[in-house]
């Protein structure tokens, strides 16, 4: 039986470990942190009893029924709809931009057809092929909505002007010509009753899995194993030989208050002169619970330095050039597969991470006993 190491006890590593352990493999899972679940880690706040998302809010949503059924093996998922509000210029609106947002902002009573025609009329039609975030916004929502909801927030989130960012970032933010204020358009959405850490702990609770927390896996140790699945930062694996890949990181300022602080789980602050990007009130992520006190996180975004936790890969031209060099190095490795958000330097939602991890496990098991080696990547990191 092959000796397998998995680096990282987030969703990527936990899913792969669980699937291979079920198939009879013995695995060792390593994580440099003192807990499992990576950035999805959740824990009960001892003072208030509120389930806190330690590294910022995570809402589970997917249209992949296989993934939805898979995660519900490990915990009950409670009904939850993510309804984000935004404060701009002293007023509160619903996000994503929808028919209510448009009518409130412009003081109108448009129906869907009228609102669509109105946005088309105020959009910059001279921009036929938007290349940047700013051009994309000006083309499709016009100057006023762009400056109110996107310009300041994006500048704070990414640390650069929207004219420096690719248009693809804005494509994740839809405009709706109805009153649907559900932030996601996925078929399934919910929150695990006992938190994400509970799910990952159950995934790793198998006699075939040996867990090493607070333990950094060194590259030199890879030779002790028949195969390594690595979900850490790809540039770390190669000792930053091609330079550090760019990430944004987050700082959280936690406060405890009595009662209800803001009446909603997430409030975006779109004005650039407000230093934080958003405030999350964690008890609203568990609306089936009741708490007298409340915990909020003010969230600040900045460039990721050497000892920070990486959150969002920046993936601008310089970063992609470095990534190509790391991919070439990775392809020359043997018996190691790079997986997950950090291992492939891509922004991944939880459901995508889980789907890809299931596919990795299936591919490994399909190759078991054969001569075809497991590839360095099962997805194209530049895709």
Catalytic residue among 72, 244, 248, 367: 248
Catalytic residue among 19, 135, 235, 299: 299
* Whole-angstrom distance, CA of residue 183 vs CA of residue 189: 11
Q: Are 145 and 138 in contact (CB under 8 A)?
A: no
Catalytic residue among 139, 176, 341, 346: 176
Catalytic residue among 116, 308, 333, 349: 349
Q: Which helix (H) or strand (E) holds 68?
A: helix 65-71
The phi, psi pair for 273, rounded to 5°, reads -80, -5
The phi, psi pair for 364, rounded to 5°, reads -65, -45
Q: Higher pLDDT residue, 141 or 174? A: 141
Examine the residue annotation and report whether 248 is marked as an active-site residue of this protein: yes
Examine the residue annotation and report whether 278 is marked as an active-site residue of this protein: yes
Provide the percentage of residues in the chain whose pLDDT is more than 90: 95
Question: Which residue is it, tokens 């590259």?
Answer: 219
Q: With 70 as the cut, is the pLDDT of residue 305 above it?
A: yes
Examine the residue annotation and report whether 176 is marked as an active-site residue of this protein: yes
The phi, psi pair for 12, rounded to 5°, reads -60, -55
Mean pLDDT of the chain: 96
pLDDT of residue 173: 61
Catalytic residue among 278, 315, 341, 346: 278
Q: Please state the rounded mean pLDDT for residues 101-125.
A: 97
User: What tokens were used for 81?
Assistant: 């709809």
* Whole-angstrom distance, CA of residue 9 vs CA of residue 202: 12
**Residues across the chain:** 383
Examine the residue annotation and report whether 349 is marked as an active-site residue of this protein: yes
Question: Which residue is it, tokens 């993510």?
Answer: 82
User: What tokens were used for 159?
Assistant: 């640390």
Give the number of other CB atoms < 10 A from CB of residue 24. 10
Examine the residue annotation and report whether 299 is marked as an active-site residue of this protein: yes
Examine the residue annotation and report whether 183 is marked as an active-site residue of this protein: no
Q: Which helix (H) or strand (E) holds 254?
A: strand 247-258
Q: Coil, strand, or helix at residue 191?
A: strand
DSSP letters, 258-271, are ES-SSSSSEEEE--
Q: Is the peptide bond before 96 cis (omega within 30 degrees of 0)?
A: yes
Task: Give 321's pLDDT tier (boundaries 50, 70, 90).
Answer: very high
Q: Please state the rounded mean pLDDT for residues 135-148.
A: 95
Could you say which DSSP state residue 150 is in? I
Catalytic residue among 91, 205, 347, 362: 347
pLDDT of residue 48: 98
């Amino acid at each position: 039986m092959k000796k397998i190491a998995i680096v990282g006890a987030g969703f990527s590593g936990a899913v792969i470990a669980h699937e291979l352990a079920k198939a009879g493999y013995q695995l060792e899972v390593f994580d440099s942190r003192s807990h499992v679940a990576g950035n999805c880690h959740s824990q009960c706040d001892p003072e208030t009893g509120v389930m806190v998302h330690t590294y910022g809010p995570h809402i589970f949503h997917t249209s992949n029924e296989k993934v939805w059924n898979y995660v519900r093996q490990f915990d009950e998922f409670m009904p939850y709809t993510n309804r984000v509000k935004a404060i701009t210029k002293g007023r509160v609106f619903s996000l994503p931009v929808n028919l209510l947002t448009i009518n409130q902002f412009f003081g109108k009573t448009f129906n869907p057809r009228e609102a669509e025609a109105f946005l088309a009329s105020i959009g910059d039609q001279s921009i036929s092929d938007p290349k940047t975030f700013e051009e994309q916004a000006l083309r499709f929502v016009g100057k006023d909505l762009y400056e109110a909801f996107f310009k300041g927030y994006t500048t704070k989130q990414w640390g650069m002007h929207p004219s420096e960012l690719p248009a693809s970032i804005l494509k994740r933010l839809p405009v709706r010509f109805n009153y649907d204020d559900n932030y996601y358009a996925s078929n399934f959405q919910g929150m695990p009753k006992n938190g994400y850490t509970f799910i990952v702990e159950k995934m790793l609770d198998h006699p075939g899995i040996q867990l090493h927390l607070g333990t950094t896996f060194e590259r030199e140790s890879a030779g002790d194993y028949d195969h390594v699945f690595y979900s850490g930062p790809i540039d770390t694996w190669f000792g930053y030989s091609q330079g550090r890949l760019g990430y944004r990181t987050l700082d959280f300022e936690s406060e405890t208050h009595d009662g209800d602080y803001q009446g909603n789980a997430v409030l975006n602050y779109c004005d650039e002169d407000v230093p934080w990007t958003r405030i999350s009130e964690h008890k609203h992520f568990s609306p089936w619970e009741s708490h007298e006190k409340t915990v909020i996180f003010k969230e600040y975004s900045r460039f990721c330095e050497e000892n920070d936790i990486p959150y969002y890969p920046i993936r601008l031209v310089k970063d992609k050039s470095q990534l190509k060099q790391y991919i070439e190095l990775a392809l020359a490795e043997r018996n190691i597969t790079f997986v997950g958000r950090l291992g492939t330097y891509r922004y991944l939602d939880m459901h995508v991470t889980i789907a890809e991890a299931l596919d990795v496990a299936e591919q490994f098991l399909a190759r078991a006993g054969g001569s075809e080696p497991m590839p360095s990547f099962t997805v194209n990191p530049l895709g």
